[in-house]
Chains A and B, each alone.
Chain A
Amino acid sequence: MNYNWDWRVFFKPTGIGNEIYLDWFVTGLGWTIALALSAWVIALLLGSLLGVMRTLPGRYAARIAGAYVELFRNVPLLVQLFVWYFIVPDWLPEPLEDWFKQDLHPAISAFISVTICLGLFTAARVCEQVRTGIQALPRGQAMAAYALGLSLPQVYRQVLLPQAFRIIIPPLTSEFLNVFKNSSVASLIGLMELLAQTKQTAEFTANLFEAFTLATLIYFTLNMGLMLFMRWVEKRVRVPGLIALGGK
Protein backbone atom coordinates (compact mmCIF):
# COMPACT_ATOMS: atom_id res chain seq x y z
CA MET A 1 0.00 0.00 0.00
CA ASN A 2 1.35 3.35 -1.02
CA TYR A 3 0.31 5.51 1.87
CA ASN A 4 2.30 7.93 3.93
CA TRP A 5 1.23 7.38 7.52
CA ASP A 6 1.48 10.57 9.52
CA TRP A 7 0.64 10.13 13.18
CA ARG A 8 1.59 13.68 14.01
CA VAL A 9 -1.72 14.76 12.51
CA PHE A 10 -3.46 14.44 15.89
CA PHE A 11 -1.28 17.18 17.34
CA LYS A 12 -1.86 19.63 14.51
CA PRO A 13 -4.13 22.61 15.16
CA THR A 14 -7.62 22.26 13.78
CA GLY A 15 -7.83 25.93 13.02
CA ILE A 16 -10.83 26.26 15.30
CA GLY A 17 -9.88 27.95 18.56
CA ASN A 18 -6.71 26.52 20.07
CA GLU A 19 -7.79 22.93 19.54
CA ILE A 20 -5.64 20.19 18.12
CA TYR A 21 -7.30 17.20 16.47
CA LEU A 22 -6.67 15.02 19.50
CA ASP A 23 -8.98 17.33 21.48
CA TRP A 24 -11.80 16.37 19.14
CA PHE A 25 -11.30 12.72 19.97
CA VAL A 26 -11.30 13.49 23.68
CA THR A 27 -14.56 15.45 23.36
CA GLY A 28 -16.02 12.67 21.24
CA LEU A 29 -15.04 10.03 23.77
CA GLY A 30 -16.69 12.11 26.49
CA TRP A 31 -19.99 12.17 24.57
CA THR A 32 -19.75 8.45 23.83
CA ILE A 33 -19.24 7.59 27.50
CA ALA A 34 -21.98 9.95 28.67
CA LEU A 35 -24.42 8.53 26.12
CA ALA A 36 -23.64 4.91 26.83
CA LEU A 37 -23.76 5.25 30.60
CA SER A 38 -27.06 7.15 30.68
CA ALA A 39 -28.61 4.72 28.19
CA TRP A 40 -27.31 1.80 30.27
CA VAL A 41 -28.93 3.13 33.43
CA ILE A 42 -32.29 3.25 31.61
CA ALA A 43 -31.73 -0.16 30.05
CA LEU A 44 -30.78 -1.83 33.31
CA LEU A 45 -33.63 -0.40 35.37
CA LEU A 46 -36.36 -0.79 32.75
CA GLY A 47 -34.98 -4.12 31.50
CA SER A 48 -34.95 -5.58 35.01
CA LEU A 49 -38.50 -4.42 35.62
CA LEU A 50 -39.68 -5.91 32.31
CA GLY A 51 -37.73 -9.13 32.92
CA VAL A 52 -39.44 -9.57 36.27
CA MET A 53 -42.81 -8.81 34.67
CA ARG A 54 -42.26 -11.60 32.15
CA THR A 55 -41.92 -14.13 34.97
CA LEU A 56 -44.83 -12.97 37.15
CA PRO A 57 -47.67 -15.42 37.71
CA GLY A 58 -50.35 -13.09 36.30
CA ARG A 59 -50.88 -13.00 32.54
CA TYR A 60 -51.19 -9.28 31.85
CA ALA A 61 -47.79 -8.16 33.11
CA ALA A 62 -46.06 -10.92 31.16
CA ARG A 63 -47.91 -10.02 27.97
CA ILE A 64 -47.17 -6.33 28.20
CA ALA A 65 -43.46 -7.00 28.73
CA GLY A 66 -43.51 -9.57 25.93
CA ALA A 67 -45.05 -7.10 23.50
CA TYR A 68 -42.45 -4.50 24.49
CA VAL A 69 -39.61 -6.90 23.74
CA GLU A 70 -40.99 -7.87 20.34
CA LEU A 71 -41.53 -4.25 19.35
CA PHE A 72 -38.11 -2.97 20.34
CA ARG A 73 -36.15 -6.02 19.30
CA ASN A 74 -37.64 -6.35 15.85
CA VAL A 75 -37.15 -2.80 14.56
CA PRO A 76 -33.63 -1.76 13.49
CA LEU A 77 -31.88 0.55 15.92
CA LEU A 78 -31.34 3.20 13.26
CA VAL A 79 -35.04 3.30 12.39
CA GLN A 80 -35.85 3.67 16.06
CA LEU A 81 -33.38 6.53 16.36
CA PHE A 82 -34.96 8.40 13.46
CA VAL A 83 -38.39 7.89 15.02
CA TRP A 84 -37.22 9.28 18.35
CA TYR A 85 -35.35 12.19 16.80
CA PHE A 86 -37.54 13.24 13.88
CA ILE A 87 -41.04 12.00 14.64
CA VAL A 88 -41.64 11.80 18.38
CA PRO A 89 -40.86 15.49 19.05
CA ASP A 90 -43.71 16.39 16.65
CA TRP A 91 -46.11 14.50 18.89
CA LEU A 92 -45.18 16.51 21.96
CA PRO A 93 -47.49 19.25 23.21
CA GLU A 94 -46.57 22.48 21.51
CA PRO A 95 -44.61 24.29 24.27
CA LEU A 96 -42.58 21.14 24.85
CA GLU A 97 -42.03 20.69 21.11
CA ASP A 98 -40.76 24.25 20.73
CA TRP A 99 -38.51 23.86 23.72
CA PHE A 100 -37.05 20.63 22.36
CA LYS A 101 -36.58 21.88 18.80
CA GLN A 102 -35.62 25.52 19.35
CA ASP A 103 -34.54 26.34 22.90
CA LEU A 104 -32.38 23.31 23.54
CA HIS A 105 -28.86 23.21 22.22
CA PRO A 106 -28.96 20.89 19.19
CA ALA A 107 -26.36 18.64 20.81
CA ILE A 108 -28.50 18.29 23.92
CA SER A 109 -31.69 17.46 22.03
CA ALA A 110 -29.77 14.90 19.98
CA PHE A 111 -28.29 13.52 23.18
CA ILE A 112 -31.74 13.12 24.75
CA SER A 113 -33.08 11.36 21.67
CA VAL A 114 -30.18 8.91 21.46
CA THR A 115 -30.21 8.20 25.19
CA ILE A 116 -33.91 7.36 25.18
CA CYS A 117 -33.63 5.37 21.98
CA LEU A 118 -30.63 3.34 23.05
CA GLY A 119 -31.92 2.88 26.58
CA LEU A 120 -35.30 1.53 25.48
CA PHE A 121 -33.76 -0.62 22.74
CA THR A 122 -31.26 -2.19 25.12
CA ALA A 123 -33.92 -2.61 27.82
CA ALA A 124 -35.66 -5.15 25.58
CA ARG A 125 -32.46 -7.18 25.44
CA VAL A 126 -31.74 -6.85 29.17
CA CYS A 127 -35.33 -7.92 29.83
CA GLU A 128 -34.80 -11.21 28.03
CA GLN A 129 -31.61 -11.88 29.94
CA VAL A 130 -33.19 -11.15 33.31
CA ARG A 131 -36.10 -13.41 32.39
CA THR A 132 -33.75 -16.25 31.42
CA GLY A 133 -31.78 -15.78 34.61
CA ILE A 134 -34.89 -16.06 36.76
CA GLN A 135 -36.23 -19.02 34.81
CA ALA A 136 -32.91 -20.82 35.08
CA LEU A 137 -33.35 -21.08 38.85
CA PRO A 138 -34.87 -24.26 40.26
CA ARG A 139 -38.62 -23.86 40.83
CA GLY A 140 -38.07 -24.98 44.38
CA GLN A 141 -36.23 -21.77 45.23
CA ALA A 142 -39.33 -19.64 44.85
CA MET A 143 -41.41 -22.32 46.59
CA ALA A 144 -39.07 -22.40 49.57
CA ALA A 145 -39.15 -18.63 49.78
CA TYR A 146 -42.96 -18.53 49.65
CA ALA A 147 -43.13 -21.37 52.19
CA LEU A 148 -41.21 -19.20 54.66
CA GLY A 149 -43.92 -16.56 54.33
CA LEU A 150 -42.08 -14.10 52.09
CA SER A 151 -44.34 -11.93 49.94
CA LEU A 152 -43.98 -11.85 46.17
CA PRO A 153 -41.80 -8.69 46.13
CA GLN A 154 -39.64 -10.15 48.89
CA VAL A 155 -39.25 -13.42 47.01
CA TYR A 156 -37.89 -11.53 44.01
CA ARG A 157 -35.83 -9.04 45.95
CA GLN A 158 -34.27 -11.44 48.45
CA VAL A 159 -34.13 -14.78 46.68
CA LEU A 160 -34.63 -14.78 42.91
CA LEU A 161 -32.96 -11.60 41.66
CA PRO A 162 -29.69 -11.88 43.63
CA GLN A 163 -29.21 -15.31 42.07
CA ALA A 164 -30.49 -14.43 38.60
CA PHE A 165 -28.21 -11.40 38.27
CA ARG A 166 -25.17 -13.46 39.21
CA ILE A 167 -26.00 -15.95 36.48
CA ILE A 168 -26.45 -13.33 33.78
CA ILE A 169 -23.36 -11.21 34.42
CA PRO A 170 -21.56 -12.58 31.30
CA PRO A 171 -24.40 -11.85 28.83
CA LEU A 172 -25.09 -8.53 30.58
CA THR A 173 -21.45 -7.64 30.03
CA SER A 174 -21.84 -8.07 26.30
CA GLU A 175 -24.96 -5.93 26.38
CA PHE A 176 -23.06 -3.27 28.31
CA LEU A 177 -20.35 -3.28 25.63
CA ASN A 178 -23.00 -3.19 22.91
CA VAL A 179 -24.38 0.04 24.31
CA PHE A 180 -20.99 1.68 23.86
CA LYS A 181 -20.69 0.40 20.32
CA ASN A 182 -24.28 1.18 19.39
CA SER A 183 -23.92 4.73 20.68
CA SER A 184 -22.10 5.45 17.42
CA VAL A 185 -25.48 5.75 15.69
CA ALA A 186 -25.64 9.17 17.30
CA SER A 187 -23.20 10.39 14.64
CA LEU A 188 -26.04 10.09 12.11
CA ILE A 189 -28.11 12.78 13.78
CA GLY A 190 -25.15 15.07 14.19
CA LEU A 191 -24.13 14.43 17.78
CA MET A 192 -20.33 14.80 17.83
CA GLU A 193 -19.46 11.63 19.67
CA LEU A 194 -16.37 9.57 18.95
CA LEU A 195 -17.33 8.27 15.51
CA ALA A 196 -18.55 11.68 14.31
CA GLN A 197 -15.33 13.34 15.49
CA THR A 198 -13.35 10.65 13.68
CA LYS A 199 -15.21 11.27 10.43
CA GLN A 200 -14.76 15.00 10.82
CA THR A 201 -11.03 14.64 11.44
CA ALA A 202 -10.74 12.42 8.38
CA GLU A 203 -12.51 15.01 6.27
CA PHE A 204 -10.51 17.97 7.59
CA THR A 205 -7.07 16.37 7.37
CA ALA A 206 -7.45 13.73 4.66
CA ASN A 207 -5.65 11.43 7.13
CA LEU A 208 -8.51 8.95 7.04
CA PHE A 209 -6.49 5.88 7.98
CA GLU A 210 -4.90 7.47 11.03
CA ALA A 211 -8.23 8.82 12.24
CA PHE A 212 -10.01 5.49 12.00
CA THR A 213 -7.07 3.59 13.44
CA LEU A 214 -7.15 5.82 16.51
CA ALA A 215 -10.92 5.45 16.80
CA THR A 216 -10.58 1.67 16.60
CA LEU A 217 -7.95 1.70 19.34
CA ILE A 218 -10.07 3.90 21.58
CA TYR A 219 -13.20 1.75 21.19
CA PHE A 220 -11.16 -1.40 21.72
CA THR A 221 -9.38 -0.12 24.84
CA LEU A 222 -12.59 1.23 26.29
CA ASN A 223 -14.47 -2.03 25.83
CA MET A 224 -11.55 -4.12 27.01
CA GLY A 225 -11.44 -2.04 30.17
CA LEU A 226 -15.18 -2.46 30.71
CA MET A 227 -14.90 -6.18 30.19
CA LEU A 228 -12.14 -6.47 32.78
CA PHE A 229 -14.22 -4.36 35.17
CA MET A 230 -17.20 -6.69 34.72
CA ARG A 231 -14.97 -9.72 35.31
CA TRP A 232 -13.87 -8.15 38.54
CA VAL A 233 -17.51 -7.55 39.52
CA GLU A 234 -18.30 -11.15 38.68
CA LYS A 235 -15.50 -12.37 40.92
CA ARG A 236 -16.49 -10.09 43.76
CA VAL A 237 -20.07 -11.34 43.91
CA ARG A 238 -19.14 -14.98 43.46
CA VAL A 239 -20.65 -17.26 46.07
CA PRO A 240 -18.28 -19.74 47.74
CA GLY A 241 -19.00 -23.36 46.92
CA LEU A 242 -21.39 -22.51 44.16
CA ILE A 243 -20.47 -23.82 40.76
CA ALA A 244 -23.77 -23.50 38.93
CA LEU A 245 -24.02 -19.75 39.46
CA GLY A 246 -21.68 -17.05 38.26
CA GLY A 247 -19.36 -19.17 36.15
CA LYS A 248 -16.17 -21.00 37.15
Chain B
Amino acid sequence: MIAIENVSKWYGDFQVLTDCTTAVQKGEVVVVCGPSGSGKSTLIKCVNGLEPFQSGKILIDGTSVGDAKTDLPKLRSRVGMVFQHFELFPHLSIINNLTLAQVQVLGRSVEGARQKGLALLERVGLSAHATKFPGQLSGGQQQRVAIARALAMDPIAMLFDEPTSALDPEMINEVLDVMVELAHEGMTMMVVTHEMGFARKVADRVIFMDRGAIVEDAKKDDFFGSPRSERAQAFLSKILSH
Protein backbone atom coordinates (compact mmCIF):
# COMPACT_ATOMS: atom_id res chain seq x y z
CA MET B 1 0.00 0.00 0.00
CA ILE B 2 2.75 2.42 1.01
CA ALA B 3 6.23 1.76 -0.28
CA ILE B 4 9.13 3.95 0.80
CA GLU B 5 12.29 3.31 -1.20
CA ASN B 6 15.70 4.84 -0.41
CA VAL B 7 14.27 8.21 0.58
CA SER B 8 16.76 10.94 1.51
CA LYS B 9 16.04 14.53 2.35
CA TRP B 10 18.20 17.54 3.09
CA TYR B 11 17.50 20.96 4.56
CA GLY B 12 20.32 22.82 2.86
CA ASP B 13 23.45 20.91 3.83
CA PHE B 14 21.79 19.17 6.74
CA GLN B 15 20.57 15.68 6.00
CA VAL B 16 17.32 14.90 7.83
CA LEU B 17 16.50 11.57 6.20
CA THR B 18 19.10 9.05 5.13
CA ASP B 19 18.21 6.28 2.72
CA CYS B 20 14.94 5.26 4.37
CA THR B 21 13.32 2.12 3.02
CA THR B 22 10.23 0.40 4.37
CA ALA B 23 6.73 -0.58 3.40
CA VAL B 24 3.27 -0.73 4.89
CA GLN B 25 1.05 -3.51 3.55
CA LYS B 26 -2.71 -3.24 3.20
CA GLY B 27 -4.35 -3.61 6.61
CA GLU B 28 -1.05 -3.37 8.42
CA VAL B 29 -0.42 -1.11 11.42
CA VAL B 30 3.13 0.20 11.57
CA VAL B 31 4.36 2.26 14.50
CA VAL B 32 7.31 4.60 13.97
CA CYS B 33 9.21 5.62 17.09
CA GLY B 34 12.52 7.15 17.98
CA PRO B 35 14.05 10.08 19.87
CA SER B 36 12.98 13.60 18.95
CA GLY B 37 14.76 14.98 15.91
CA SER B 38 15.17 11.50 14.49
CA GLY B 39 13.13 12.34 11.39
CA LYS B 40 9.94 10.37 12.13
CA SER B 41 7.57 13.29 11.55
CA THR B 42 9.49 14.37 8.47
CA LEU B 43 9.27 10.87 7.03
CA ILE B 44 5.52 10.58 7.57
CA LYS B 45 4.98 14.02 6.03
CA CYS B 46 6.95 12.89 2.98
CA VAL B 47 4.48 10.05 2.52
CA ASN B 48 1.67 12.35 1.37
CA GLY B 49 3.97 14.95 -0.14
CA LEU B 50 3.60 17.59 2.59
CA GLU B 51 7.39 17.63 2.74
CA PRO B 52 9.40 17.29 -0.45
CA PHE B 53 12.31 14.87 -0.59
CA GLN B 54 15.31 15.02 -2.88
CA SER B 55 16.03 11.40 -3.63
CA GLY B 56 14.28 8.05 -3.47
CA LYS B 57 10.72 7.10 -4.19
CA ILE B 58 7.46 6.81 -2.30
CA LEU B 59 4.57 4.90 -3.83
CA ILE B 60 1.04 4.96 -2.50
CA ASP B 61 -1.14 2.30 -4.03
CA GLY B 62 1.21 2.38 -7.02
CA THR B 63 1.22 6.18 -7.46
CA SER B 64 4.53 7.98 -7.03
CA VAL B 65 4.32 10.87 -4.56
CA GLY B 66 7.44 12.68 -5.74
CA ASP B 67 6.56 12.51 -9.43
CA ALA B 68 5.85 15.98 -10.82
CA LYS B 69 3.04 14.54 -12.95
CA THR B 70 1.16 13.14 -9.95
CA ASP B 71 -2.07 14.91 -9.02
CA LEU B 72 -1.04 15.51 -5.40
CA PRO B 73 -4.38 16.89 -4.15
CA LYS B 74 -6.14 13.82 -5.50
CA LEU B 75 -3.57 11.50 -3.95
CA ARG B 76 -3.73 13.28 -0.61
CA SER B 77 -7.50 13.11 -0.56
CA ARG B 78 -7.15 9.33 -0.45
CA VAL B 79 -4.74 9.32 2.49
CA GLY B 80 -5.99 10.51 5.87
CA MET B 81 -3.66 12.43 8.12
CA VAL B 82 -3.88 13.35 11.79
CA PHE B 83 -1.54 15.95 13.26
CA GLN B 84 0.05 16.50 16.63
CA HIS B 85 -1.77 19.80 17.14
CA PHE B 86 -5.10 18.61 15.65
CA GLU B 87 -5.22 21.48 13.14
CA LEU B 88 -8.98 21.65 13.02
CA PHE B 89 -10.08 24.78 11.18
CA PRO B 90 -11.01 27.12 14.05
CA HIS B 91 -13.35 29.32 12.00
CA LEU B 92 -15.56 26.40 11.00
CA SER B 93 -18.01 24.49 13.18
CA ILE B 94 -17.19 20.86 13.92
CA ILE B 95 -19.59 19.56 11.30
CA ASN B 96 -18.24 22.01 8.70
CA ASN B 97 -14.74 20.83 9.49
CA LEU B 98 -15.94 17.38 8.50
CA THR B 99 -17.80 18.40 5.35
CA LEU B 100 -15.39 20.99 3.86
CA ALA B 101 -13.11 18.62 1.96
CA GLN B 102 -15.88 16.14 1.18
CA VAL B 103 -17.74 18.87 -0.70
CA GLN B 104 -14.77 20.83 -2.08
CA VAL B 105 -12.52 17.94 -3.03
CA LEU B 106 -14.73 14.91 -3.54
CA GLY B 107 -17.66 16.89 -4.89
CA ARG B 108 -20.16 15.25 -2.56
CA SER B 109 -23.49 16.95 -1.96
CA VAL B 110 -23.68 19.14 1.13
CA GLU B 111 -26.41 16.96 2.60
CA GLY B 112 -24.58 13.70 1.84
CA ALA B 113 -21.39 15.07 3.39
CA ARG B 114 -23.34 16.18 6.44
CA GLN B 115 -24.87 12.76 6.96
CA LYS B 116 -21.46 11.14 6.62
CA GLY B 117 -19.95 13.68 9.03
CA LEU B 118 -22.66 13.15 11.62
CA ALA B 119 -22.27 9.39 11.40
CA LEU B 120 -18.53 9.70 12.01
CA LEU B 121 -19.06 12.08 14.90
CA GLU B 122 -21.42 9.52 16.39
CA ARG B 123 -18.72 6.94 15.99
CA VAL B 124 -16.10 8.97 17.88
CA GLY B 125 -18.72 9.82 20.49
CA LEU B 126 -19.06 13.53 19.73
CA SER B 127 -22.39 13.96 17.94
CA ALA B 128 -23.55 16.35 20.64
CA HIS B 129 -20.81 18.78 19.61
CA ALA B 130 -21.56 19.03 15.88
CA THR B 131 -22.49 22.71 15.90
CA LYS B 132 -19.77 23.82 18.31
CA PHE B 133 -16.47 25.32 17.22
CA PRO B 134 -13.07 23.66 17.74
CA GLY B 135 -12.07 26.22 20.38
CA GLN B 136 -14.94 25.02 22.55
CA LEU B 137 -13.70 21.42 22.69
CA SER B 138 -11.00 19.79 24.81
CA GLY B 139 -7.79 18.60 23.19
CA GLY B 140 -8.88 14.98 23.25
CA GLN B 141 -12.22 15.83 21.68
CA GLN B 142 -10.53 17.94 19.01
CA GLN B 143 -8.20 15.11 18.10
CA ARG B 144 -11.12 12.70 17.80
CA VAL B 145 -12.83 15.20 15.49
CA ALA B 146 -9.60 15.39 13.48
CA ILE B 147 -9.63 11.61 13.09
CA ALA B 148 -13.28 11.74 12.02
CA ARG B 149 -12.43 14.51 9.54
CA ALA B 150 -9.77 12.32 7.95
CA LEU B 151 -12.08 9.28 7.89
CA ALA B 152 -14.81 11.29 6.18
CA MET B 153 -12.72 11.15 3.00
CA ASP B 154 -12.89 7.32 3.01
CA PRO B 155 -9.09 7.05 3.00
CA ILE B 156 -7.23 3.96 1.86
CA ALA B 157 -4.65 4.55 4.60
CA MET B 158 -4.23 6.76 7.65
CA LEU B 159 -1.12 8.60 8.78
CA PHE B 160 -0.80 9.73 12.39
CA ASP B 161 1.89 12.21 13.37
CA GLU B 162 2.27 12.02 17.16
CA PRO B 163 -1.49 12.20 17.66
CA THR B 164 -1.35 12.12 21.46
CA SER B 165 1.81 14.03 22.34
CA ALA B 166 0.07 17.41 22.67
CA LEU B 167 -2.65 15.99 24.92
CA ASP B 168 -3.09 16.02 28.67
CA PRO B 169 -2.54 12.54 30.07
CA GLU B 170 -6.18 11.93 30.91
CA MET B 171 -7.18 12.57 27.31
CA ILE B 172 -4.69 10.27 25.66
CA ASN B 173 -6.75 7.15 26.08
CA GLU B 174 -9.92 8.47 24.46
CA VAL B 175 -7.88 9.13 21.32
CA LEU B 176 -5.97 5.85 21.48
CA ASP B 177 -9.27 3.96 21.88
CA VAL B 178 -10.49 5.36 18.58
CA MET B 179 -7.19 4.41 16.94
CA VAL B 180 -7.26 0.88 18.35
CA GLU B 181 -10.78 0.42 17.05
CA LEU B 182 -9.65 1.60 13.61
CA ALA B 183 -6.75 -0.81 13.65
CA HIS B 184 -9.05 -3.69 14.56
CA GLU B 185 -11.27 -2.80 11.61
CA GLY B 186 -8.33 -3.39 9.32
CA MET B 187 -7.38 0.18 8.46
CA THR B 188 -3.89 0.56 7.03
CA MET B 189 -2.07 2.80 9.47
CA MET B 190 1.32 4.42 9.84
CA VAL B 191 1.62 5.92 13.30
CA VAL B 192 4.42 8.07 14.67
CA THR B 193 4.06 7.81 18.44
CA HIS B 194 5.77 7.22 21.73
CA GLU B 195 2.81 5.27 23.06
CA MET B 196 4.45 1.88 23.40
CA GLY B 197 1.28 0.48 24.99
CA PHE B 198 -0.55 1.25 21.75
CA ALA B 199 2.28 -0.31 19.75
CA ARG B 200 2.15 -3.46 21.86
CA LYS B 201 -1.61 -3.73 21.51
CA VAL B 202 -2.17 -3.21 17.80
CA ALA B 203 1.06 -2.74 15.84
CA ASP B 204 2.14 -5.36 13.35
CA ARG B 205 5.57 -3.85 12.97
CA VAL B 206 7.65 -1.27 14.78
CA ILE B 207 10.15 0.99 13.02
CA PHE B 208 12.81 2.65 15.12
CA MET B 209 14.46 5.75 13.69
CA ASP B 210 17.50 7.65 14.84
CA ARG B 211 19.32 10.56 13.22
CA GLY B 212 17.25 10.37 10.07
CA ALA B 213 17.78 6.69 9.40
CA ILE B 214 15.65 3.63 9.94
CA VAL B 215 17.72 1.71 12.47
CA GLU B 216 15.31 -1.07 13.12
CA ASP B 217 12.27 -2.41 11.27
CA ALA B 218 10.93 -5.47 13.00
CA LYS B 219 7.81 -7.43 13.84
CA LYS B 220 6.30 -6.13 17.05
CA ASP B 221 7.23 -9.20 19.14
CA ASP B 222 10.80 -9.15 17.90
CA PHE B 223 11.11 -5.43 18.60
CA PHE B 224 9.86 -5.59 22.15
CA GLY B 225 11.50 -8.99 22.75
CA SER B 226 15.00 -8.35 21.60
CA PRO B 227 15.70 -5.19 19.64
CA ARG B 228 18.89 -5.72 17.77
CA SER B 229 20.33 -2.26 17.79
CA GLU B 230 21.88 -0.74 20.87
CA ARG B 231 20.20 2.57 20.23
CA ALA B 232 16.75 0.99 20.12
CA GLN B 233 17.51 -0.83 23.35
CA ALA B 234 18.67 2.36 25.00
CA PHE B 235 15.56 4.20 23.76
CA LEU B 236 13.21 1.50 24.99
CA SER B 237 14.83 1.28 28.38
CA LYS B 238 14.45 5.03 28.76
CA ILE B 239 10.79 5.28 27.86
CA LEU B 240 9.68 2.02 29.46
CA SER B 241 11.48 2.51 32.77
CA HIS B 242 8.51 4.12 34.54
**Which A residues are within 8 Å of any B CB, using their own CB?**
138, 140-141, 143-151, 154, 158-159, 162-163, 166, 239-245
Contacts and interface: CB of A to CB of B under 8 A. Distances in A.
Contact of A141 (B48, B84, B89, B149): B89
B91 A166 contact: yes
A158 B91 CA distance: 10
Contact of A143 (B80, B87, B106, B136): B87
Contact of A149 (B83, B101, B133): B101
Contact of A241 (B76, B80, B105, B134): B134
B239 to A, nearest CB: 25
Given A148-B77, A149-B73, A163-B90, A241 B135 contact: yes
A143 B101 contact: no
A242 B101 contact: no
Nearest to B104: A154
Given A141-B87, A144-B83, A149 B77 contact: yes
Q: Which 8 A-B pairs have the closest CB atoms?
A: A149-B77, A241-B135, A241-B136, A144-B87, A148-B101, A147-B81, A149-B105, A242-B135
A145 B150 CA distance: 11
A140 B87 contact: yes
Contact of A146 (B76, B78, B146, B153): B76
22 contacts: A141-B87, A143-B45, A144-B81, A144-B89, A144-B146, A145-B89, A146-B72, A147-B80, A148-B100, A149-B73, A149-B74, A149-B77, A150-B73, A151-B73, A154-B104, A240-B132, A240-B133, A240-B135, A241-B134, A241-B136, A241-B137, A242-B91
Interface string B146-171: 10011001000000000000000000
Contacts of B110: none
Contact of A147 (B48, B85, B137): B48
Contacts of A143: 45, 50, 83, 87
Contacts of A159: 89
A146 B65 CA distance: 14
Contacts of B79: 147
A154 B76 CA distance: 14
B50 A148 contact: no
A140 B83 contact: yes
Contacts of B85: 138, 140
Contacts of B45: 143
B50 A240 contact: no
A151 B105 CA distance: 8
Contact of A162 (B78, B81, B91, B133): B91
Nearest to B100: A158
B76 A148 contact: yes
Contacts of A146: 50, 72-73, 76
Nearest to A243: B135
Interface in B81-108: 81, 83-85, 87-91, 100-101, 104-106
